[in-house]
Amino acid sequence: MGKTITEKILDKHIVEGTPEKGEEIKIKIDQTLTQDATGTMAYLEFEAIGIPRVKTELSVSYVDHNTLQTDFKNPDDHIYLQSVAARYGLYFSRPGNGICHQIHLERFARPGKTLLGSDSHTPTAGGIGSLAIGAGGLNVAAAMAGEPFALKYPKIVGVKLNGKLPPWVSAKDIILELLRRVDVKGGVGKVFEYFGPGVKTLSIPERATITNMGTETGATTSIFPSDEVTRGFLKAQGREEQWIELKSDGEEYYDEIIEINLDELEPLAALPHSPGNVKPVADIEGMEVQQVAIGSCTNSSLRDMKVVAQILKGKTVAPNLSLLINPGSRQVVAHLVETGEYKYLVDAGARILENACGPCIGMGGAPPSGSVSIRTYNRNFEGRSGTKDAKVLLVSPETAAATAINGVLTDPRKLGKPVEIVMPDRFIINDNMIILPLPPEEAEKVKVVRGPNIKPLPEFPPLVEKLKGEVLIKVGDNITTDHIMPAGAKILPLRSNIPEISKYVFSRVDEKFYERAMEKKGGFVIGGENYGQGSSREHAAIAPKYLGVKAVIAKSFARIHSENLINFGIVPLVFSDVKDYDRIEQGDKLEVDVSSLENGEATLKDVTKGFSIKLKHNLSEMDIAILREGGKLPFIKKNIGGR
């Protein structure tokens, strides 16, 4: 029987389980990546497991999120990460080298390989034919220790691309069109696999833009074929020997088909405050804009930067706004300098930032209060930019550059004749900002350096059969990890200090949450649909656990956050009847009986109001075992530590 690309890679990597839709499988992980906002905790967890050296084919530690150094915390943690990489056999990408997903695509990602990353946009590598999945740091730590990664065998949705993109329409508009159709939870439990005649018209960076932002649908991952375009990209990166052909055996093997006619697309924009709130730029153009930001892991490739440079050539940024540009890597910058296109950006008045995530994660570049910020990034959640009342729209590089020139949101088709760019036959390759793994005998001599901000991991007790406490907070639908555990320049430097970072849990939703949680000695969180969408940051689970959160009861969960809750011993439970959500309020005293988790259920008693309801869950046997043990770290240490 024929197979899809996804099935071919999964089936080759399965070490446990049956390849049937919805069934749990465990797969071998070939590569891992981390970044510094999530990686510091991941390596503390890896050290706690007790494995002397990473067991993957390749693991890379990147520094790209917390590069704003306002005090000792970030630079101290970067030294910790570098020393950990040297001690345990990882590649280390130094601060300033670039954004993890862009560099991994350029230098490490391989067709047919599995990649697990402690960043939700790890699926970027799907643009090159890698089965790349985002996960919490503890899952990545376990993979580095040689443990397989558990997931539900996904449904495979074939996205058939027909035709060719019109002038001024780009890959960002393709993924925005998909988001317009399926919204932010339409990909849950699915993999989006692209095929069709339109695929060959897209370069690898364009494909990576699409797989990167497929994350916003809630999908497990997204992937493209590995074809002659892939081979050409790898050849230009000096890695042609790593190419293999990967293609589906036929569209009849997909569980579902979505067709997108590229020649019918137009420039699109995601309006505040959701990547799924998509409308044509032509319908909303003319909107006053105070900031334009171009870059992030979604649109910082050489292709995108060249397009922007050519649009800005000989022009000046409109006086009513500020233009920020963060290129994806040093390789991108080197090419822009070589061709003179870097000068076009400078002469136009762009503020060119470091090769890092920057404003996307709230690290500088916050827009003015009450302003409109047009960004080529992947998320526009309320407050994520660093300015709570800013309105962020997500667009293509073409739309962003046209807007920067005109001062108002502009359909790039108004610019007339499309710009032309010339891509190099061979990329400039300079890996001097990547430190190679040390041989084992040298690595054993390395001392891991810990700054004063790095605190020991908290210890969590085993799960008891009856959970008691108050409802600490009740929230609505599509609560993001930014709502639960905000990012930004003030909070992210505390990522290796759980007692301190826990003070900011739900701080953008309810400033008194921390005090209430401490006073009540923990309790419960009640959530709506798609609770925990967004970033993979496990701090949105471990910090609430530190505050005593025992269970989150919601209408539904985002995949990665549900995994993180399990990993840290918080029980994710779902209302059997969603109407029961309306019956429970903040302050209600609850008793939740989890003694019957093995039977697929739990019982909630609202002591305050005197009623009981049934709850359900989607936990596997291993998930339940992890919860019973108190979390994945004690589970691993009990079962495989030091193996």
Look up residue 143 and give its two tokens: 């993979």
Residue type, 176: L
Sheet arrangement for strand 24-27 = 14-16, 24-27, 149-152
Active site residue 379: yes
Q: Which run of H or of E encompasses 248?
A: none
Active site residue 537: yes
Residue with tokens 């660093």: 386
Is the CB of residue 453 less than 8 Å from the CB of residue 494? yes
Torsion of CA 496, 295, 356, 310, to 10 degrees: 180
> Which residues contact residue 244 at a Cβ distance below 8 angstroms, ignoring those fewer than 6 apart?
111, 112, 129, 226
Which is catalytic among the residues 379, 559, 561, 617? Answer: 379
Q: Which run of H or of E encompasses 281?
A: helix 281-284
Residue type, 36: D
Residues 587-604 as b or e (16 or more Cβ within 10 Å = b):
ebbbebbbeebeeebbeb
Active site residue 535: yes
> Angle CA(569)–CA(598)–CA(609) in degrees, nearest 5?
70
Active site residue 77: no
Active site residue 450: no
Active site residue 426: no
Residue type, 229: V
What's the rounded Cα separation, in Å, for the pair 590 and 408? Answer: 52
Which is catalytic among the residues 130, 203, 301, 535? Answer: 535
Look up residue 232 and give its two tokens: 């050409």
What's the rounded Cα separation, in Å, for the pair 250 and 244? Answer: 18
Which is catalytic among the residues 36, 76, 119, 482? Answer: 119
What's the rounded Cα separation, in Å, for the pair 289 and 406? Answer: 10
Is the CB of residue 159 less than 8 Å from the CB of residue 221? no
Which is catalytic among the residues 64, 77, 411, 588? Answer: 64
Residue with tokens 């869950």: 617
Is the CB of residue 100 less than 8 Å from the CB of residue 132? no
Of 558, 550, 574, 514, whose CA–CA distance to 627 is shortest? 550
CA distances from 22 to 518, 531, 596 (A): 39, 20, 22
Give the CA radius of gyration of the chain: 24
- Compute φ and ψ for 510, nearest 5 degrees: -150, 105
Question: Taking the alpha carbons of 487, 488, 491, 497 in that order, is the dihedral positive or negative?
Answer: positive
Which is catalytic among the residues 13, 30, 61, 65? Answer: 65
Which is catalytic among the residues 537, 539, 559, 561? Answer: 537
Which residues are designated catalytic?
Answer: 64-65, 119, 379, 535, 537
